[in-house]
A = this chain, B = another copy of it.
Amino acid sequence: MTTTETRPVDNGVNVEALLGAREALTQAPEAATFQWRASCEWQNGTHSRNTVEGFFGLGEEQHHRTTSSFEVDHPEVFASEDHGPTPVEYVLVGLAGCLTAGVAAVAQHREIQLHKVSATIEGAMDVRGILGMDSDVRNGFSGITVTYDIDADASRADIEALVAQSQKRSAVYDVITNPTEVRVVVR
């Protein structure tokens, strides 16, 4: 008698812990209230330095393992010094990272082994909006396309279903496709 060894699917996502968290939050829904934060220090011109470190969740202050600092600027074609990506490119990074984390988590849950997941994200924009040239042109993206290239032990239909489920549970996809209230105050 021979044994067929099946290597367990491992995409590096701890699905058991996530299901456990879900169970725990059912008992204590107030622990599900999170607050994510960034702080911003203007440098000069359109250049700012932004820091991400602490957040609130599970009823207490939390900290990332390290403090992250991000330069945001406008490019030279906008007469700026290009000290870093533009604000809208940071939004695309967030969208890509969110959907991709979701693909990995859903694949783990569905026991699909991933080998490679890459994506290109393209956001179209008519800059006459931000330049205030035409009030019919919006400031933001006219549309965003995310194109995935996925190598996994699964059919094309299953891979498409993975991506669709990731969209359904993505925080950033929701933020971009639906309106969110933003309150801006001066201290």
User: Chain A: residues with CB nearer than 8 A to chain B?
Assistant: 11-14, 17-18, 21-22, 25-26, 29, 32-42, 44-48, 50, 52, 55, 57-58, 62, 64-65, 68, 70, 72-80, 82, 84-101, 103-105, 114, 116-133, 138-150, 156, 159-160, 163-164, 167, 169-187
Contact = CB atoms under 8 A, between A and B. Distances in A.
Contacts of A180: 140-144, 176-177
A186 B150 contact: yes
A118 B172 CA distance: 24
Given A93-B90, A124-B33, A21 B139 contact: no
Contacts of A50: 93, 96-97
A149 B187 CA distance: 6
17 contacts: A12-B46, A13-B80, A29-B128, A32-B133, A36-B141, A37-B122, A38-B93, A40-B97, A41-B117, A55-B89, A64-B75, A74-B101, A87-B97, A88-B175, A91-B94, A140-B172, A144-B182
